[in-house]
Amino acid sequence: MPYATPAQLIESTQEYLIAQLTGQEETPDEAIIERALDNASAEIDGYIGSRYNLPLPSTPEVLKNFCIDIAIYRMMSLRPKGDIEDARQRYEDAIRFLKDLIRGEVSLGLPEASAGDVSVTGIAYRPGSSIMKGIDY
């Protein structure tokens, strides 16, 4: 389940800008926005799933905002390079927060999962580990 809705994403900035990101002139394409939000939510789950039971019982405001930022960044990444700097910074800030979250440096204010309770969907990130260790090329 996405952490933000298309309406929340559209309300987060000027509607015509979101329309342009979705390839439209005036009205945003909600199907494209839904896909971007689904992908952003999966990316977030990949980080927080190692610490919290998924799906979360409620959506913290910070995750809604980061979901929107990541979705906008992903949509902007399809545009010419000059348009992406602000979106890139917001994306990097969101990822930095998620990494701090899994290290226990920040909290969502939700109960944490015990070791056997964690159910992860998506990509999991574990700092300092590699599945490629010991492989010679």
Pair of tokens at residue 23: 């390839």
Residues 27 and 19: beta-carbon distance below 8 Å: yes
- Assess if residue 110 is contained within a domain: no
- Assess if residue 137 is contained within a domain: no
- Assess if residue 46 is contained within a domain: yes
Least confident of 10-14, 17-21, 46-50, 51-55: 46-50
Angle at 107 between CA 102 and CA 124, to 5 degrees: 20
CA nearest neighbour of 87 among 40, 122, 127:
40
137 confidence band (pLDDT: 50, 70, 90): very low
Q: C-alpha 125: how far from its chain's center?
A: 13
Residues in the chain: 137
Distances (CA, A) of 21 to 39, 51, 71, 81, 84: 16, 33, 11, 13, 11
Number of domains in the chain: 1
Return the exposure string of 43-73: e unless at least 16 CB atoms fall within 10 Å of the residue's CB, then b: bbbbbbbebbbbebeebeebbbbbbbbbbbb
- Assess if residue 16 is contained within a domain: yes
> pTM for the full model?
0.65
Mean pLDDT of 49-68: 93
116 confidence band (pLDDT: 50, 70, 90): low
- Does position 119 have pLDDT exceeding 90, yes or no? no
> pLDDT tens for residues 91-113?
898 899 899 988 888 888 778 77
- Assess if residue 63 is contained within a domain: yes
- Assess if residue 81 is contained within a domain: yes
**Which residues span the domain enclosing 89?**
6-103
- Assess if residue 99 is contained within a domain: yes
Mean pLDDT of 47-71: 93
Mean pLDDT of 119-129: 48
- Assess if residue 40 is contained within a domain: yes
- Does position 87 have pLDDT exceeding 80, yes or no? no
Here the contacts of 109-112 (C-beta below 8 Å, separation 24 or greater) are 109/60, 110/52, 110/56, 110/57, 110/58, 110/60, 111/52, 112/51, 112/52
